[in-house]
Amino acid sequence: MGNKYKIAWLPGDGVGVEVMEAAKIVLDRVALDAEYIHGDIGWEFWCKEGDSFPARTIDLLKNVNAAMFGAITSKPVKTAEKELVPELQGKGMVYRSPIVRMRQMFGLYTCLRPCKAYPNNPLNYKEGIDIVVFRENTEDLYSGVEFNTVPEKLRDTLAELSPAFKAFKDLKSDEYAISCKINTRKGSERIVRAAFEFARKFNRKKVTVVHKANVVRATDGLFFETAKAVAKDYPEIKMDDANIDAMTMWLLKNPFNYDVLVAPNLYGDIISDLSAQMVGGLGFGCSANIGAKLGVFEPSHGSAPKYTGQYKVNPIATILAAKMMLDWLGETAKGKIIEDAVAEVIAGGKVRTYDMGGSDTTIQMAQAIAGKCAVPAK
Ligand code: IPM
Ligand code: MG
């Protein structure tokens, strides 16, 4: 008989490989009935093939229940081009972040980032913080519609359509650049609804909509207006809103005023890092990218090249990402076993990676967590 689940296993590179090894120790401990299928992704494949997210990996993702993803090194476009094998250089290949492509290609519109202060974590900003960030994951300034050199046709059209554009119109095509922030009503509605549905399901009291609608009127205005309309369907949940700049300040000043946050892509990227820092930093920041058919689970940290090979980074973010995957698959009992074990190891204070002030390795941390997993006897 086959396994119940097929999981794409995408370690990527840098410390991505190490934290995924750690997560696997814990998943094996709770005996998830899954086949883990390795997928090529990362810097190595950019250099060798000109594509860090090869077609074979895209095909793999079409045929699995979920995926776990580690981390990937990215470099600026010009540096990236120089690292291609000689045969591929000068062919106009442009490096684009594979995770951003994956989110867009598979419609993984919900980026869910819980930020919970597990008791006795020496890195907690304050004990008791429990914030959940819902970040729109496919649109906004991440639309990928960008112009390094602005085509004349576009310049003339903009000059005709927008009085504000007159200030830029006389610049030469390579003297300015345009990145399009594109937000749709559908995209805004589905992420806000996801946030409210979560609040309803888990008995959360408030959803705060983060935006900058007073300045970025068109796109953030659309997001905010849509959010207000969606909120009407959830009368039992309070809704408020904040501008992104004030939000960062208030979040630090009084994190206990916040419960569920929902934001367009870039603001969500920012506030999720801030929120993660308040509960221990990126070693604790777990992330789910969820669409209608596929969920991809990852730590929100990068590949940390300077630590590669040292097995010193904290695997808890990735282990909590695995827990989120279990929840999403409906394996909530196993998910809870993992979360309880993480909480117990943190509370115990004996096993600590370098970020927590200790010297335990990535693998020792994973083994300690696996050791606390209260797996029921077969
Ligand atoms: C994240 C990361 C990514 C993002 C990068 C690696 C493209 O910062 O997942 O938050 O900006 O979304
Ligand atoms: Mg980020």
Residue appearing with tokens 């705060």: 208
Mean pLDDT, residues 189-216: 98
Q: What is the pLDDT of residue 375?
A: 76
Distance of alpha carbon 143 from alpha carbon 140, whole angstroms: 6
pLDDT of 78 higher than 70: yes
pLDDT band at 377 (very low <50, low <70, confident <90, very high): low
Structure token pair of residue 68: 């776990």
- Residues near ligand 1 with C-beta < 6 Å? 97, 99-100, 269, 300, 302
Q: What is the pTM of this model?
A: 0.96
Query: Considering the chain, what percentage of its residues have pLDDT values greater than 90?
Result: 89
Residue to mutate (ligand 1; options 96, 277, 300, 318; most atoms within 8 A of CB): 300
pLDDT of 376 higher than 80: no
- Whole-number Å distance, alpha carbon 365 to ligand 1 midpoint, is 25
- Whole-number Å distance, alpha carbon 266 to ligand 1 midpoint, is 9
The residues with which 203 forms a beta bridge, in sequence order, are none
pLDDT per position as a tens digit, 129-158: 999 999 999 999 999 999 989 999 999 999
Residue to mutate (ligand 1; options 52, 97, 103, 140; most atoms within 8 A of CB): 97
Q: What are the chain's domains? A: 5-129+282-372 (3.40.718.10), 181-278 (3.40.50.2300)
Q: What is the pLDDT of residue 325?
A: 98
Ligand approaching nearest to the C-alpha of 103 = 1
Atom 2, ligand 1: residue with shortest CA distance: 300
Residue appearing with tokens 């540096």: 79
pLDDT of 248 higher than 90: yes
The residues with which 131 forms a beta bridge, in sequence order, are 115
User: Taking the CA of residue 18 as centre, how many other CA atoms within 13 Å lie in the half-sphere pointing to its CB?
Assistant: 23
Q: What angle do CA 144, 145, 149 make, to 5 degrees?
A: 115
Q: What is the pLDDT of residue 94?
A: 85
Helix or strand or coil: residue 1? coil
- Whole-number Å distance, alpha carbon 331 to ligand 2 midpoint, is 27
pLDDT of 64 higher than 90: yes
Which of 329 and 148 is assigned the larger pLDDT? 329
Q: Please give the mean pLDDT across all residues of the chain.
A: 96
pLDDT per position as a tens digit, 159-180: 999 999 988 889 998 899 999 9
The identity of residue 318, as a single letter, is: T
